[in-house]
């Protein structure tokens, strides 16, 4: 059995990082260490492509949302060679200590996803340095939600661009159905999509998706699976959604 589907390995950050390194090396991608945290490297992967449409992917900023980084890895293993000459940047596990501890926060009890306005934070400082000069056609951050009743997406984009989230969710709904509540996480939702053209004013700090929207992309998505559902299904849903986003940027296989 693939160890990614063994529940007792879901929070093994060492195994996950090693799998990412191995898969990237075999596919000819560049791997850099953004920084080290409690002995764990925070990696960034880059394809060989320098021009054309660009895709940003990240996962694992909340350690209690384990299916997200494993699902992205499952997608990467199947598509890395095909996309290595495209322009793709991946942060596969932004909070390895949180994954080990099965906590939303990092080793200091800090929610890293509220620090992207603070360039004094070690993670944010290195993240900004790493993305200098980048602009992406689409950015995707993958997450899970304890209270979710199905899959859903936050979509933040500039007026004049076509909305994408509803169609992309359709690629995953056969695995886990959409969350059809009219209000999700306190926000108005329709068919599993929370859509924003304006930034919310009640945020205690900028999440990654907001910082991406402000500085690096005109279209930012945050995909959420229900963390109380079956782990294997959640991994498959993440794999499918990442694949749908890649197809939206680079075209169907």
Cα 252 from Cα 245, distance rounded (Å): 10
**pLDDT at residue 5 greater than cutoff 60:** no
Q: Find tokens 């879901």 and name the residue.
A: 10
Q: What is the mean pLDDT of residues 234-246?
A: 98
- Rounded to whole angstroms, the Cα distance separating 16 from 47 reads 19
Residue 181 near residue 150 (C-beta atoms within 8 A): no
| Separation between Cα atoms, residue 62 and residue 54, nearest integer Å | 25
> Mean pLDDT over residues 115-132, rounded?
93
* Spatial separation of the C-alpha atoms in residues 178 and 101, rounded to whole Å: 29
The CA distances from residue 160 to 9, 78, 169, in Å, are: 44, 33, 21
Q: What is the mean pLDDT of residues 133-140?
A: 96
The pLDDT tens digits of the residues spanning 93-121 come to: 999 999 999 999 999 999 999 999 888 89
Tens of pLDDT along 211-233?
A: 999 999 989 999 999 999 999 99
Q: 1: pLDDT confidence band, cut at 50, 70 and 90?
A: very low
β-strand partners of 225: 144
**253 — pLDDT class (breaks 50, 70, 90):** low
Question: pLDDT per residue over 25-73, tens digit each?
Answer: 999 999 999 999 999 999 999 999 999 999 999 999 999 999 999 999 9
pLDDT at 87 over 90: yes
Q: What percent of the chain lies above the pLDDT cut of 70?
A: 93
Q: Are strands 138-145 and 219-226 parallel, antiparallel or unpaired?
A: parallel
Q: Which residues sit opposite 141 in a β-bridge?
A: 58, 222
Are 63 and 103 in contact by the 8 Å Cβ rule? The answer is: yes
- Residue 3's pLDDT is what? 46
The token duo for 107 is 């080793």
DSSP one-letter code for 162: P
Biggest CA-to-CA distance, the chain: 46
């Amino acid at each position: 059995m693939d160890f990614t589907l063994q529940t007792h390995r879901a929070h093994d950050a060492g195994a996950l990082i090693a799998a990412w390194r191995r898969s990237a090396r075999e596919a000819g991608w560049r791997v850099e260490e953004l920084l080290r945290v409690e002995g764990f490297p925070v990696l960034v992967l880059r394809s060989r492509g320098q021009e054309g449409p660009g895709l940003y992917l990240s996962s694992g900023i909340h350690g209690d949302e384990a299916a997200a980084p494993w699902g992205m890895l499952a997608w990467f293993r199947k598509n890395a060679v095909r996309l290595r000459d495209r322009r793709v940047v991946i942060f596969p596990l932004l909070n390895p200590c949180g994954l080990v501890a099965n906590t939303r926060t990092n080793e200091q009890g800090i929610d890293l996803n509220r620090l992207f306005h603070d360039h004094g934070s070690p993670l944010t400082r290195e993240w900004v340095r790493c993305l200098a000069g980048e602009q992406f056609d689409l950015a995707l951050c993958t997450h899970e939600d304890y209270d979710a009743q199905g899959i859903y997406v936050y979509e933040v984009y500039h007026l004049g661009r076509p909305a994408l989230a509803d169609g992309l969710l359709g690629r995953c709904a056969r695995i886990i159905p959409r969350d059809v509540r009219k209000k999700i996480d306190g926000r108005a939702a329709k068919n599993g999509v929370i859509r924003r053209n304006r930034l919310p004013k009640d945020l205690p700090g900028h999440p990654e998706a907001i910082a991406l929207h402000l500085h690096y992309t005109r279209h930012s998505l945050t995909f959420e699976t229900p963390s109380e559902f079956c782990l294997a299904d959640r991994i498959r849903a993440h794999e499918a959604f990442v694949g749908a986003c890649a197809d939206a940027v680079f075209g169907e296989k």
